[in-house]
Amino acid sequence: DQQVKQNSPSLSVQEGRISILNCDYTNSMFDYFLWYKKYPAEGPTFLISISSIKDKNEDGRFTVFLNKSAKHLSLHIVPSQPGDSAVYFCAASSDNNNDMRFGAGTRLTVKP
């Protein structure tokens, strides 16, 4: 039951431009959404989150947008930097971390 989907396995962007990573979910009970970033041979690390009562959350170069009616969220990185090259996982949960579901990840490559 893949309740969280990241349909783009990879994305390549030029340094300085905007990176947009997309995520769709099917479970309307989800009310908290997170993005994790993963470098090779490391575990995922928390990047940014948003609750369902908001439609936007910004943290420096990273902004997450939530469209509840479309069950869609996106992560915007502006400006993109080569160090942002990593796999980005979208995750969603309802009451607590025990029911968190992850997407399959999108590999972002930022070219100098």
Partner 1 sequence: DTAVSQTPKYLVTQMGNDKSIKCEQNLGHDTMYWYKQDSKKFLKIMFSYNNKELIINETVPNRFSPKSPDKAHLNLHINSLELGDSAVYFCASSLPGTGRDSPLHFGNGTRLTVT
**DSSP per-residue letters across 82-106:** GGG-EEEEEEEESSSGGG-EE---E
- Minimum CB–partner distance for residue 106 and partner 1 (Å): 10
Q: Please tell me whether residue 41 binds partner 1 under the rule CB under 8 A.
A: yes
**x/- string (CB under 8 A) for partner 1, residues 9-38?**
-----------------------x-x-x--
96 binds partner 1 per the rule CB under 8 A: yes
112 binds partner 1 (CB under 8 A): no
Number of residues interacting with partner 1: please give it, by CB under 8 A: 26
Pattern 45-74, binding to partner 1, x per CB under 8 A?
xx--x-x-----------------------
The amino acid at 109:
T
Q: Where on the chain is the footprint of partner 1 (CB under 8 A)?
A: 2, 32, 34, 36, 41-46, 49, 51, 87, 89, 93-100, 102-105
